[in-house]
């Protein structure tokens, strides 16, 4: 180390002796400050150990007015990334999901706990005059207001864009709505409505059956993800402009974005049948719109779900098998059909398209002799893309998902230990901080005092005002 330092000093000396243009120029350059060390105005690269330089969104304060699923998904992700998320809930009631689908008596439901971890909860009646005053302070304090109320609800609270922007011009106001501007903009929307209106349901399921909704919550959680991207982008733009903006993620738009390959197929239809759909191989004519394609692969590589050993008793003993063209010969050898490698009816992808059903039936005869994990292991040795159909039980017990923090066990003071989904996006310098969900109003006092600066006396006044507490229920005697 010492020798290296010496060598560097010597080198610097020699350089200084040479009166070159370069050296003169260097002398003229001002020593860069820690804040602006390069042309981009970025600070010098941190010398702290990875993960020790603060969280990605540290310092970002979120006023979280979300409920149910779409909005809470968004703000939970921002919390995982390091933002301080202050969830505002109605006194005595809270997010409706606290009591929905309850599995443990008197404990917040998993619906709520799994979507609201890593946040703080404050109860405020947003329609109470004192509540409005507290909200005004929160608006001045925070960077982003996130909400997914029914259209018009935020305005009815008096929290219009004009008011918020005037109160805090830097504030970003981010909303999830069912639809964007247009004929349906005033409609309330839940997950499955979005799946139907966004083009997912009409293209999901089997051709001979009705439209189907998917188990994945692409309308709610999918739109929450879109909104989170909009928020961080608006935060980035604010660095340049200094002002906030409105961010809107409509659930119909979010679902359509996730279903874009089906809009691709809609346009391809005008140029002829969709040859990779098994409907084509079965000789069934196409209609005017993208049809439902069962378990056909969405891409150009044909795939299908095949039975594996034990399928008679286990509803998830299946594997997704893709007959990817580059590994076709390996597939032929594995399933005992080496002659298909050279047979003109099977040797090329176009030749196989009209025979997909028969090909998958033949592959299935082989997969049925193995468990899904055995198929996985064998196929992976040959680079054949396959994926086991994993049950939620198997996922909950999967050690590797625990190791990566994608499935996390947290402890809750009322319900005890439960599993939640951690941050699905991994940042190498900002490890996610996955904490349990807050109890209703758990941080009300803490936020009033430490964040908003109310004195002890003022907090006592707020408490009796009814702005942060549930209205008293009439006593039994009085009621009788
Ligand atoms: N203090 C006082 N009032 C409060 C409050 C608080 N802290 N928090 C909420 N409220 C009030 C709202 O002001 C609203 O009152 P008004 O309608 O009288 O003005 C009321 O609670 C209910 O709000 P809402 O209309 O949003 O709730 P809902 O249960 O009737 O509808 C939903 C739910 C999800 C259909 C609707 O919010 C919606 O369409 N949101 C946009 C789309 C969306 O996110 N959908 C996904 C939901 S997850 O499947």
pLDDT for 265: 97
Which H or E run contains 11? helix 2-17
- The residue whose two tokens read 């540290």 is 58
For atom 30 of ligand 1, the residue with the nearest CA is 150
Distance 378 CA to ligand 1 centre (A): 51
pLDDT tens readout for residues 321-372: 999 999 999 999 999 999 999 999 999 999 998 899 999 999 999 999 999 9
Ligand 1 atom nearest residue 126's Cα:
1
For atom 19 of ligand 1, the residue with the nearest CA is 153
**pLDDT at residue 39 tops 90:** no
Q: Mean pLDDT score of the chain, rounded to an integer?
A: 91
Distance 111 CA to ligand 1 centre (A): 17
Q: Which residues pair with 410 in a beta bridge?
A: 418
Ligand 1 atom nearest residue 149's Cα:
26
For atom 31 of ligand 1, the residue with the nearest CA is 150
List Cα–Cα distances, 457 to 116, 121, 132, 463, in angstroms: 31, 21, 19, 10
- Rounded-to-10 torsion of CA 72, 470, 144, 188: 50
pLDDT tens readout for residues 401-432: 999 999 999 999 999 999 999 999 999 999 99
- Taking residues 252-265, report their average pLDDT: 98
pLDDT for 299: 76
pLDDT band at 42 (very low <50, low <70, confident <90, very high): confident
* Single pTM value for the model: 0.90
**DSSP classification of residue 69:** T
127 lines ligand 1 (CB under 6 A): yes
Token pair recorded at residue 421: 């989904």
Q: Counting Cβ atoms within 10 Å, is residue 437 exposed (0-12), middle (13-18) or buried (19+)?
A: buried
pLDDT, greater one: 477 or 203: 203
pLDDT tens readout for residues 303-318: 999 999 999 999 999 9
Q: Per the residue annotation, which of 95, 108, 220, 296 is the catalytic one?
A: 220
Instruction: List Cβ neighbours of 128 (8 Å cut-off, separation of 6 or more).
Output: 465, 466, 467
Which H or E run contains 464? helix 456-465
**Whether the Cβ atoms of residue 353 and residue 275 lie closer than 8 Å to each other:** yes
128 lines ligand 1 (CB under 6 A): no
Query: 20: helix, coil or strand?
Result: coil
Distance 65 CA to ligand 1 centre (A): 10
pLDDT tens readout for residues 430-459: 999 899 999 999 999 999 999 999 999 999
Instruction: List Cβ neighbours of 82 (8 Å cut-off, separation of 6 or more).
Output: 54, 55, 56, 57, 58, 60, 430, 433
**Whether the Cβ atoms of residue 293 and residue 235 lie closer than 8 Å to each other:** no
pLDDT band at 3 (very low <50, low <70, confident <90, very high): very low
Instruction: List Cβ neighbours of 159 (8 Å cut-off, separation of 6 or more).
Output: 126, 135, 139, 145
189 lines ligand 1 (CB under 6 A): yes
Q: Counting Cβ atoms within 10 Å, is residue 263 exposed (0-12), middle (13-18) or buried (19+)?
A: middle
95 lines ligand 1 (CB under 6 A): no
d(C-alpha 380, C-alpha 374), whole Å: 10
Ligand 1 atom nearest residue 188's Cα:
39
b/e map 6-27, b = 16+ CB within 10 Å: eeeeeeeeeeeeeeeeeeeeee
Determine whether 220 is an active site residue.
yes
pLDDT for 37: 53
pLDDT band at 281 (very low <50, low <70, confident <90, very high): confident
pLDDT for 480: 35
- Taking residues 141-158, report their average pLDDT: 97
68 lines ligand 1 (CB under 6 A): yes
φ, ψ at 474 (rounded to 5°): -60, 135
pLDDT for 470: 85
72 lines ligand 1 (CB under 6 A): no
b/e map 347-373, b = 16+ CB within 10 Å: eebeebbeebeebbebbbebbbebbbe
pLDDT tens readout for residues 51-84: 999 999 999 999 999 999 999 999 999 999 999 9
Using most ligand atoms within 8 A of CB, pick from 155, 176, 188, 198 the residue to mutate for ligand 1: 188
153 lines ligand 1 (CB under 6 A): yes
pLDDT band at 38 (very low <50, low <70, confident <90, very high): low
pLDDT band at 21 (very low <50, low <70, confident <90, very high): very low
pLDDT band at 473 (very low <50, low <70, confident <90, very high): low
- Taking residues 165-189, report their average pLDDT: 98
d(C-alpha 299, C-alpha 391), whole Å: 24
For atom 17 of ligand 1, the residue with the nearest CA is 153
Which H or E run contains 120? strand 120-123
pLDDT for 298: 74
220 lines ligand 1 (CB under 6 A): yes
pLDDT for 475: 53
d(C-alpha 185, C-alpha 152), whole Å: 10
pLDDT for 450: 97
pLDDT for 380: 98
**Whether the Cβ atoms of residue 117 and residue 85 lie closer than 8 Å to each other:** no
H helical segments located in 335-453: 349-352, 356-367, 372-381, 392-397, 399-403, 444-446
Distance 335 CA to ligand 1 centre (A): 56
């Amino acid at each position: 180390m010492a020798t290296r330092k010496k060598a560097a000093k010597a080198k610097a000396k020699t350089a200084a002796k040479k009166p070159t243009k370069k050296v003169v120029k260097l002398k003229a350059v001002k020593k860069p400050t820690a804040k602006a060390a390069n042309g981009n105005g970025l600070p010098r690269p941190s010398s702290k150990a990875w993960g020790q330089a603060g969280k990605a969104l540290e310092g970002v304060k979120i006023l979280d007015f979300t409920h149910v699923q779409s909005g809470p998904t968004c703000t939970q992700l921002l919390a995982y990334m390091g933002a301080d998320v202050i969830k505002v809930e109605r006194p005595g009631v809270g997010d409706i999901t606290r009591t929905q689908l309850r599995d443990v008596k008197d404990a917040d439901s998993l619906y709520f706990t799994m979507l609201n971890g890593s946040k703080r909860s404050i109860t405020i009646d947003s329609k109470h005059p004192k509540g409005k005053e507290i909200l005004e302070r929160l608006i001045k304090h925070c960077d982003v207001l996130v909400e997914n109320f029914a259209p018009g609800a935020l305005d009815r609270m008096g929290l219009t864009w004009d008011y918020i922007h005037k109160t805090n011009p830097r504030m970003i106001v981010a909303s999830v709505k069912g639809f964007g501007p247009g004929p349906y903009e005033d409609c309330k929307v839940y997950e499955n409505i979005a799946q139907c209106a966004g083009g997912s349901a009409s293209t999901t399921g089997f051709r001979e059956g009705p439209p189907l909704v998917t188990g994945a919550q692409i309308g709610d959680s999918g739109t929450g993800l879109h909104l989170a991207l909009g928020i961080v982008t608006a935060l980035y733009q604010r660095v340049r402009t200094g002002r906030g903006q409105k961010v809107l993620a409509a659930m119909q738009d979010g679902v359509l974005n996730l279903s874009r390959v089906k809009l691709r197929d809609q346009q391809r239809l005008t140029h002829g049948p969709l040859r990779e759909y098994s409907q084509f191989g079965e000789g069934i004519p196409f209609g005017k719109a993208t049809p439902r394609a069962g378990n056909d692969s969405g891409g150009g590589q044909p795939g299908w779900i095949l039975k594996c050993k034990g399928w008679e008793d286990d509803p998830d003993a299946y594997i997704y098998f893709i007959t990817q063209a580059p590994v076709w010969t390996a597939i032929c050898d594995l399933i005992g059909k080496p002659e298909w490698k050279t047979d003109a009816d099977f040797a090329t992808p176009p030749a196989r398209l009209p025979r997909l059903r028969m090909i998958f039936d033949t592959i299935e005869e082989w997969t049925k002799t193995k468990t899904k994990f055995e198929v996985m292991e064998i196929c992976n040795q040959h680079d054949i893309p396959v994926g086991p159909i994993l049950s939620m039980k198997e996922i909950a017990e999967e050690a590797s998902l625990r190791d990566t923090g994608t499935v996390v066990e947290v402890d809750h003071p009322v319900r005890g230990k439960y599993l939640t989904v951690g941050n699905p996006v991994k940042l190498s310098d900002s490890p996610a901080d996955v904490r349990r969900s807050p109890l209703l109003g758990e941080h009300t006092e803490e936020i009033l005092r430490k964040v908003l600066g109310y004195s002890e006396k003022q907090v006592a006044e707020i408490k009796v005002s009814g702005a942060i507490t549930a209205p008293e229920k009439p006593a039994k005697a009085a009621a009788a």
